[in-house]
Structure 1
Amino acid sequence: MPYNIAMVSDFFFPQSGGIESHIYQLSSKLIDRGHKVIIITHAYKGRTGVRYLTNGLKIYHVPFFVIYRETTFPTVFSFFPIFRNIVIREQIDIVHGHASLSSFCGEAILHARTMGLRTVFTDHSLFGFADAASILTNKLLKFTLSDVDHAICVSHTCKENTVLRASLDPLMVSVIPNAVVAENFCPLSHSSRAPDQIPISPADPRPSPTPIGPDDTITIVVISRLFYNKGTDLLIAAIPRILSSNPNTRFIIAGSGPKAIDLEQMLERNVLQDKVEMLGSVRHEEVRDVMVRGHIYLHPSLTEAFGTVIVEAASCGLYVVCTRVGGIPEVLPQHMTTFAKPEEDDLVVATSKAIAALRSNKVRTDRFHDQVKMMYSWRDVAERTERVYQGIIGDISPSEFYGYYPGQGWDASGDRVRSFALIDRLKRYYGCGVWAGKLFCLCVVIDFLIFVFLEMWFPRGNIDIARSWPKKRPAEKSSTRPIRSSRS
């Protein structure tokens, strides 16, 4: 059965990143599977109102005040009127929020439950438990997820983190990883071959690549936002030592952020401008062109729930050096990666080992693309997400969705099928803390009163229903060029 789905997050194109790419690719594949999908995000510079992307994907750019890193100012209630208007116009069945730090996401889940809609939340990040910022974030996440129907995490480490932070039932959290469009991240060796020459299986025989000689230059690529949590300080400390111990080595660094000035100062102090090329911010469609210029991809992140960029790098035929943090060890098999502790000394040693492995031809990077193509697929991600929708809507039984273990003595439905009754919702929020629980209940009551007011003074009959994007038959699709971008 097709569903009308609203993806809600502060993070979407034209800003580039893993969350933005995940939302776009997942939405596109769900549309291919017959569902209607819209995206609700805030207005970006030069992008306001309603936009259409390829395949009829509609984006609502809502004008809201942005405070930090493309996150809107949290107002709790002011988003409700326009959100209700969009949901009624598009006849939405399911609201799917993305990212813990997205104000739009948290508010949309609250308003959707007040309107009697099913909700799903996808967590893309890891957070701690000790510092003040993490404590506040975790309490807000607890507020957001106390009444959500189901949660999705991109790795098992991310699931464990989210379950602990939000005190969730583990059976209400599914693990669905990110993926890549492998065809968009082909190594140069694939670009020069005809499609019928590309091997079907990584076990197919293929001539060994030309080994890298001791005097050949090895290029190390880094593509990342230049923030503290992405390990930029670690990268700044390690680059001079890596270049000193491996003379025939150079770096290409793409990305922008507040740590860019520290990186430039390090290059000036050590006079490494001829060894390190800084490209600044690059668009997502340009990432492959940057990656294929290198041999090794270096990912020094301090925290990461999944790390889509390392899958893209492996697909481009790069050997990956990354820190053993978060969900990164779950992403790629060991023969594609060299792991390091998030420490300067260990990162330098791991990078030097990777360089030595490439020079001795011990690593067959020419096989990586075909292996990644078999491991990760957005179609598989969409199918698994669709099953979550079926579970919360009730198209599959609770025992089939959550699992049933004979003799365990628990009801498969239990409290996992969330009731929309206000008293039941207040019970769930009241357990969030001595003071926080009462504050959360007050927010829910106010939200309900606002909803009643809107229903009375702005009835649904006065809201025009938007026409769905016309679907073409497969024969018509093959002869029609896709629409790139338009306004309405």
Structure 2
Amino acid sequence: MEVEARPRHAVCMVCDFFYPSMGGVEMHIWSLAQCLLKLGHKVVVVTHSYDNRKGVRYMQNGLKVYYCPLLTFYDQDVWPTLFAFFPLFRHILIRERISIVHTHQATSVMSIECTLYARTMGYKVVYTDHSLFGFADAGSIHINQVMRFILSDVDHCICVSNTCRENLALRARLHPILLSTIPNAVDPDKFTPDLGQHRRLSTGGDRINVVMISRLVYRKGIDLVARVIPMVCARFPHVHFIVGGDGNKKLLIEEMRERHQLQDRVEMLGRVPHSDVRDVLVRGHIFLNCSLTESFCIAILEAASCGLFVVSTCVGGVPEVLPPSMIKFADPTVESLAAAIEAALPLAKEVAPAEFHRRVRHMYNWMEVARRTETVYHHVREASTPTLMERLRRYNTVGGAVAGWLCCFAVSVMYLAWRVIEWIWPREDIELAHEFPSTRYIHDNGKRKK
């Protein structure tokens, strides 16, 4: 009996946040794309240009990236273009024979606009949410309204934690059947422990290094860090801190170090390239995460994979990431964080780095994430495509009396714009891109496939 071949998908991932920018969303898109390529799917990434990185670039294993000429205005987000980016995005989708558009992150303007473009043209759309948002502050209210409008017409939503899933279901008012939880992962081969460092600690060395690698911004709890470090250093002379990262709160840490004369106790590394993160982590014994909100936090996975005991604020989806034997939780307060670090000091001496690494490798794997995402693709591929009237009915329902009609008007204008573009620039005139021979370049266990 013949075995049915696995359906092949042509996926276009869209987000404002991608390499050379570094962060959890960027790492997720990169890692997921690489594993989908290994599973035999076609993947292209659409993002905006970064400095001199413009046009089309090929990356590892034939991953094709379109760095589009769009202007950014804040935190790598582009200016809204309304319909200006529509023709170019349509050209990319037709040229690459895309079947599924996969957008990422609620704060990505490109993701929001391209979701509307793709649905107007009848493409299947999957969305992945990476962040948590509140319900009371002005910024969250605005984002929630936008996401409620946009996500009312996507085929499926993926969340990186159960907390993230519940948060998105509430703020976007989505039926749970449209949501799946597929967690982040880590590449354990890139984050291996340095057994010698912990062996020295267990055989008489009493210095303990607390490592923190993070964007130095308010959301990461840097205001708490600036008060916790002097308190811990005053109580425990053998504790040293290694701080890596950059951001608008970096000056706050530097001022704290000068004010308390902790230059020999607090090492500031600045921005750490992702390729060097492992080398910094293995210098430590405890990893500190002080985030005020976090949907998952890949950083604590990377640290645990390197054999570090983790101290973290108990916020968002962080309690779902590691078992209690590998992490110590604290409330997002100075006193609670200092007490958690104090409680973690003796535990760090008992850590078996190889065992931590083995457990992380067993629990999290990017290939498993890709397979579960592949299942979502199979599901949405078989789903029916709504007509324009069905879409307008959805938008009118979620928008309300006034906003609903405005949403329907905007979508109707976008539909007419698409028809005009189809007439001016027929798809038959668009040259199709040559398929990159990915299987010839993808390595498996160090061996090149023929």
Normalising by the smaller structure, the TM-score range is over 0.9
Match of 1:410 in 2: none
Alignment check: 8 A CA contact 2:193 2:353 kept: no
Matching of residue 179 in structure 1 with residue 169 in structure 2: no
Cα offset, 1:210, TM superposition: 5.7
Alignment check: 8 A CA contact 1:209 1:366 kept: no
Cα distance in structure 2, aligned partners of 1:287 and 1:428: 45
Indicate which of 150, 158, 171 corresponds to 2:164: 158
Alignment of 1:279-298 (within 5 A): 279-298=269-288
Cα distance in structure 2, aligned partners of 1:56 and 1:34: 12
Deviation string 1:374-395 (CA, Å, 9 cap, x unpaired) is 110011000000000000111x
Match of 2:216 in 1: 226
Show structure 1 runs of 5+ residues with no match. Answer: 193-207, 395-416, 482-488
SS in 2 for 1:257: coil
Residue type at the aligned position of 1:134: S
Residue type at the aligned position of 1:90: E
Question: Do the aligned partners of residues 248 and 213 (structure 1) sit closer, same or farther apart at CA in structure 2, a change above 3 Å counting?
Answer: farther
Cα distance in structure 2, aligned partners of 1:143 and 1:257: 32
Alignment of 1:104-143 (within 5 A): 104-143=110-149
SS in 2 for 1:183: coil
CA RMSD in angstroms, aligned pairs only: 2.0
Alignment check: 8 A CA contact 2:161 2:296 kept: yes
Alignment of 1:235-250 (within 5 A): 235-250=225-240
Match of 2:356 in 1: 368
SS in 2 for 1:285: helix
Match of 2:298 in 1: 308
Match of 1:188 in 2: 194
Residue type at the aligned position of 1:57: L
Cα distance in structure 1, aligned partners of 2:428 and 2:255: 61
Instruction: Give aligned-pair identity as a percent.
Output: 47
Deviation string 1:401-436 (CA, Å, 9 cap, x unpaired) is xxxxxxxxxxxxxxxx56431110001001223322
Alignment check: 8 A CA contact 1:212 1:358 kept: no
Match of 1:403 in 2: none
Cα offset, 1:217, TM superposition: 0.8
Indicate which of 167, 170, 179 corresponds to 2:173: 167
Indicate which of 367, 377, 400 corresponds to 1:389: 377
Deviation string 1:188-233 (CA, Å, 9 cap, x unpaired) is 129x9xxxxxxxxxxxxxxx95654786210000000011111111
Alignment check: 8 A CA contact 1:148 1:418 kept: no
Matching of residue 19 in structure 1 with residue 25 in structure 2: yes
Indicate which of 294, 310, 315 corresponds to 1:325: 315
Match of 1:266 in 2: 256
Matching of residue 422 in structure 1 with residue 388 in structure 2: yes
Matching of residue 379 in structure 1 with residue 367 in structure 2: yes
Matching of residue 440 in structure 1 with residue 407 in structure 2: yes
Residue type at the aligned position of 2:152: S
Matching of residue 358 in structure 1 with residue 358 in structure 2: no
Cα offset, 1:357, TM superposition: 2.3
Cα offset, 1:86, TM superposition: 0.3
Cα distance in structure 2, aligned partners of 1:148 and 1:109: 8
Alignment check: 8 A CA contact 1:64 1:73 kept: yes
Deviation string 1:156-176 (CA, Å, 9 cap, x unpaired) is 000000001111010110000
Cα distance in structure 2, aligned partners of 1:249 and 1:427: 61
Show structure 2 runs of 5+ residues with no match. Answer: 1-6
Residue type at the aligned position of 1:434: A
Residue type at the aligned position of 1:131: D
